[in-house]
Chain A
């Protein structure tokens, strides 16, 4: 499904959509795709985060879309600026897999599960209900988020397409 209405979200990137547009990000591995949706106004946002927390950032200035703790507030801000209602926002997340597991691996290689934990915690802090999620496992995902229906479609090599 790649029409003119598809808005691509890159790695460590975020964007918002409305009026039937579709947000798409490809190849989520340990990264997590976070979507926010205002069902009344049909406004949608998507972030493709790579790391759980900006506290480990050594870049100046930081890319806010890369870290769960900076991407979520930035996405909220963009949606509110477009007219979304804070209390109406709903979240869905996908990704956070562990592509490879090797014996005795260090914590940095458990990054997928940590990205998921951090995303869930941040959503709780902002009191945004997490409607559904498809996380973990050891495979990659490509996701598309429909700004009209709020349906998140998830495609993987092993399991085909599913919708949450």
Chain B
């Protein structure tokens, strides 16, 4: 199995390109959905200690809204789209014309809308990645939770636990012009998937 702790700089660049292609397509899909320009930060590929996986989204205790999808197929992994509550409210306002009260639980309609956003983002991310790599990559049905960021993201890195105390995250930030939407998209390939991804892209280990 590829040891991600010893990846060369060019291998990390390859993964960054994976993030770029997938997230670029996802940002376009989100922009089409909202009919607004969506900016995308340059994807980051980071090998982080478990303790720091939630740093980008406000730390382990920060309450966030997450859409989770499991990726099945040739190169399995976990995907998260993580937003702050105010971004969710902005989305609901734009898509459903609903002004939410922050503390209210999500209605069925709001819950389905969040799932659908997850579907659209993950579907466009993975289809771009599948075209690029010729691999079969299939998203599961989405699951939505509002909870602390630490437990949410740590769910996606359990498989790294057997190998060490760090995980590899491919992360992209989506921002709408006026910051009313600010979301982080994470792809966390299973440790066993790196070799498959690299091979499909002609990067031999």
Contacts and interface: CB of A to CB of B under 8 A. Distances in A.
Given A26-B60, A27-B54, A27-B60, A59 B164 contact: yes
B150 interface: yes
A100 B115 CA distance: 13
Nearest to A101: B143
B149 A27 contact: yes
Contacts, number: 93
A100 B61 contact: no
Contact of A66 (B54, B60, B147, B161): B161
A66 B165 contact: yes
A138 B145 contact: yes
Given A12-B50, A50-B50, A27 B151 contact: yes
Interface residues of A, number: 35
B163 A58 contact: yes
A57 B152 CA distance: 23
- Of B70, B151, B159, B161, most buried by chain A (CB within 10 Å of CB) is B151
Interface residues of B, number: 28
B14 to A, nearest CB: 24
A109 B68 CA distance: 13
Interface in A1-46: 10-13, 26-31
B162 A157 contact: no
Contact of B158 (A28, A101, A111): A111
Interface of B: 50-51, 54, 60-61, 63, 68, 70, 140-141, 143, 145-152, 154-155, 158-159, 161-165
Given A30-B154, A142-B148, 7 more contacts: A29-B150, A29-B154, A30-B151, A31-B154, A51-B158, A105-B70, A139-B145
Interface of A: 10-13, 26-31, 50-51, 56-59, 63, 66, 97, 99-103, 105, 108-109, 111, 138-142, 157-158
